[in-house]
Structure 1
Amino acid sequence: MRKAPGVTRWVKWSWKAIAVLPGAADADWKRLRSDGDVTEYHAATKELWLYVSDTEAYAHEFGTETPSIYIVLRPSKASGDGQLDVMHVTVSPYEAQDYCDSGEEIVEKVAMPPAVHAWVQDFVEKYHVEEPFVKRRRNKQRVDRKDDGIGDRRIAQATDVYRAPVTQPREAAE
């Protein structure tokens, strides 16, 4: 993670995920380097899991111009300077999109290192099975000829079919 001075007066610091370190040891905000006000940290060490059910997503990611790893971040409750906690790491663009949809997390896209690229590509080649597209066929039943679904069948009157049903004694209903 890179911490740099904010560009507006409302944000004191700007945080950005800049790289992934494959095979790194455990770290908890270990400072790697500083250059003036800009500081780079090894924020966290997370495991990257691959699933056979997600091979289509991984293959889709390899079709992009720059295959990436997605880092899911959440604002830290412990720090008041806008620091972000690393919650999850994934290579699946579909999973990253799910995190984006919630609006609670920030998803950063980082270029995939060559070692991770080779590992994921081997996994996809070994387990991915291309599924043929099957077009769904429509039911040819004509539904425009009936007036089913209007009103409620429990209403005895035909004049006001949109009226709510009234509970009637059993003898009166027969």
Structure 2
Amino acid sequence: MDADAEVYLGVVVERREIDNPWEDYTWRPLAVMPNAPLEVNWQDLQQGEGWKHFLARTLPLDLYKSETDGYRENLGQPVPLVFVVLRPGEEAEEEEVEPFILTACPHEASGYVESGDVIVEGVRMPPEVAEWLADFVEQHHVEEPFRKRKNKRHQDRDQGSRPRGRFGGAAS
């Protein structure tokens, strides 16, 4: 499905050393950066004792008209977030994780959380991205009226579909 709007954001990822017999590092997204170079691949940003920050990749933040409810919910929070999905690196020479997708919709992000083998974390949405997102929602959101579902009454159902027995009414 083609996006209705998109902006490219650089993904900043932190690698932190841990004392664990099965893993050497933990990985987590730290930030997204507007105006990041499009062609970037794990550029070192800064480091300290036991940690290192990378500009890992530049990805599109795609917006869809059908997701405006989720965007409104996100913008209504005290701190709007961009959700970053990191998946395991596929090649041996790659980093252990790979930025996979960005979303501003908390419902979409929760779907990735439920899928399992990925890291999903929200990072602070830059003010200019929040403004752009708010403009998109204002232009495209259509309020859907709540419609209560009506159950069919038992008498309204097709009467001939079930045999009638001793307790079901008509004679056998």
TM > 0.5: yes
Instruction: Pick one of 96, 120, 124 that aligns with 1:111.
Output: 124
Which has the larger Rg? 1
Instruction: Pick one of 25, 31, 34 that aligns with 1:22.
Output: 34
Aligned equivalent of 1:4: 16
1:85 maps to 2:115: no
Aligned equivalent of 1:168: none
Q: How far apart are residue 124 of structure 1 and its match?
A: 0.5
Inter-CA distance 46–149: structure 2 relative to 1 (3 Å threshold): farther
Aligned equivalent of 2:61: 48
RMSD of the alignment, in Å?
Answer: 2.5
Inter-CA distance 4–81: structure 2 relative to 1 (3 Å threshold): farther
User: 2-side partners of 1:149 and 1:50: how far apart?
Assistant: 53
Higher relative contact order (CA 8 A, sep 6+): 2
**Greater strand content:** 2
Q: How far apart are residue 115 of structure 1 and its match?
A: 1.0
Aligned equivalent of 1:153: none
What are structure 1's unaligned runs of at least 5 residues?
151-174
Q: How many residues align?
A: 150
Q: How far apart are residue 11 of structure 1 and its match?
A: 2.2
What are structure 2's unaligned runs of at least 5 residues?
1-12, 165-172
Calculate the TM-score normalised by the size of structure 2. 0.78
Indicate conservation of the 8 Å contact 2:85/2:121, yes or no: yes
Q: Report the secondary structure of 1:96's partner residue.
A: helix
Indicate conservation of the 8 Å contact 2:15/2:51, yes or no: yes
User: 2-side partners of 1:4 and 1:39: how far apart?
Assistant: 7
User: 2-side partners of 1:90 and 1:73: how far apart?
Assistant: 12
